[in-house]
Amino acid sequence: MLRSTLHAAALTVLGTATLTLAQAPPPPPAPPVPATGTTAQPGTTAGTGQTYRVKQVLGTKVSIDGNVSIGTVEDLVFDDQGYVEYLIVQNEGRLVTVPWQATKFNFQQQTAVVNITQEKFRTLPTYTVQEYPNFSTPAYRTEIYRVYGLTPGQTRRMERREERREERRPPR
C-alpha cells in the first residue's frame, strides 16, 4: 500500500511539473541579424550557417525576371514533414503559389527574386483567401512546379532513392 501511495504521489508531482513546463511562455524573439560581421550573431547556429524566422520572410517584396515586381510574401505552406513547400505571394488582390526552391532571397533587404518570365507568370493559376487550392494534390504540385521548371520535392526524393538503388545493384 505504501508503495502504491508513493507511486501515485510521484506521478502527481511529475504531472504537475510537466503542466507547469508546458505553460511556460516562449523565449523572446531574436532581433534581425545584421548583414555584416564575423562573430556569431543572434539567429545563427555554430557551423550550420544563417537561420531565419518566418517574420523575416513575410512581407518580402518579390520580383521576377526583368526586375518586375509581382507582390509580397503573404504566407508560407509547409508539407506534412515540416519543410517549407511554397510561398504565397499577394499580387494585386490575388494570390499566387511559388515553390520555395524557385526563390532566391536577400533577407537583409527583405527582397526575393523568382526566375520566371512575365509570360510564364501570367499562366499561373491565381486564387483568393476564400478559395485556396489543395496544395498537396499531385496534379496541382506538378502544374505549379512545371511552370517554374522544377520537379516537386516528393518526386525528387523518389528519383534520388531509385538512383541510389541503381548504384547499389551489382553489375550484370
Strands 94-99 and 84-91: antiparallel
69 within domain boundaries = yes
Residue among 59, 60, 61, 41 nearest 51 (CA): 41
Q: Domain count of the chain? A: 1
What pTM value is reported for the model? 0.60
Question: What's the CATH number where 97 sits?
Answer: 2.30.30.240
**Residue ranges making up the domain that contains 68:** 54-166
* pLDDT for position 136: 85
* The predicted structure's pLDDT at residue 25: 45
Residue 136 forms part of a structural domain: yes
pLDDT beneath 70: ranges in the chain: 1-48, 153-164, 172
Determine the pLDDT at residue 22: 42
Residue 104, domain member (yes or no): yes
- d(CA 132, CA 124) in angstroms, rounded, equals 14
pLDDT (0 to 100) of residue 158: 53
CA-based diameter of the chain, in Å? 79
- If you average pLDDT over every residue of the chain, what do you get? 73
